[in-house]
Amino acid sequence: MGQMVFKAATKPQDGLTIECGARNFKIILDEPESLGGNDKGMNPVECLLAALGACKCIVAKAFAQKNKINLQDIRIELEGILDPDGFLGKNKDAKIGFSKITTRFYIKADNTKDEIEKFVDFIEKHCPVHDTLENKPAFSTEVYSE
């Protein structure tokens, strides 16, 4: 296929409510009231966890057969630890983003425990969102005044 460009665009609605678009799809992200938002959607760090879990689910479903896994069911729970005092500027020693992300795979498959664990290892290594987190991309920032 070669290199593809994926795009998204984001803009505030009211307060910290953010409208996010990609192709013809839209999601609303926000912050809970405890973090100053209107609580109209999950927040960006929860959305990051959702993208990570969805990506792993997709890799699991798309590549189960090739890995000889008779996948009957999968669900993934994700947890990220973050100290808001970092981005709130209250503690300069606190990491700004997640310090730890835990992925819990719940898999029902007609395979041995060892086969399932090897499959999870395959998923972790072939998940584009996980790879983006594990092996950081180059970043470029452009600023336009309007």
- Smallest gap from residue 68 Cβ to a second copy (A): 15
Looking at 6, 33, 92, 93, which residue binds a second copy (CB under 8 A)?
A: 6
Alpha carbon 134 to chain centroid, angstroms: 12
Pattern 81-100, a second copy, x by CB under 8 A:
xxxxxxxxxx----xxxxxx
Pattern 35-74, a second copy, x by CB under 8 A:
-xx---xxxxxxxxxxxxxxxxxxx-xx----------xx
The yes or no reply on residue 113 touching a second copy (CB under 8 A) is yes
The yes or no reply on residue 110 touching a second copy (CB under 8 A) is no
Do residues 84 and 52 make contact, with C-beta atoms less than 8 angstroms apart? no
| Euclidean distance between CA atoms 16 and 75, whole angstroms | 30
- Smallest gap from residue 32 Cβ to a second copy (A): 8
> b or e along 34-59 (b: 16 or more beta carbons within 10 Å of the residue's beta carbon)?
eeebeeebbbebeebbeebbebbbeb
Q: Is 26 helix (H, G, I), strand (E, B) or coil?
A: strand
- Smallest gap from residue 56 Cβ to a second copy (A): 8
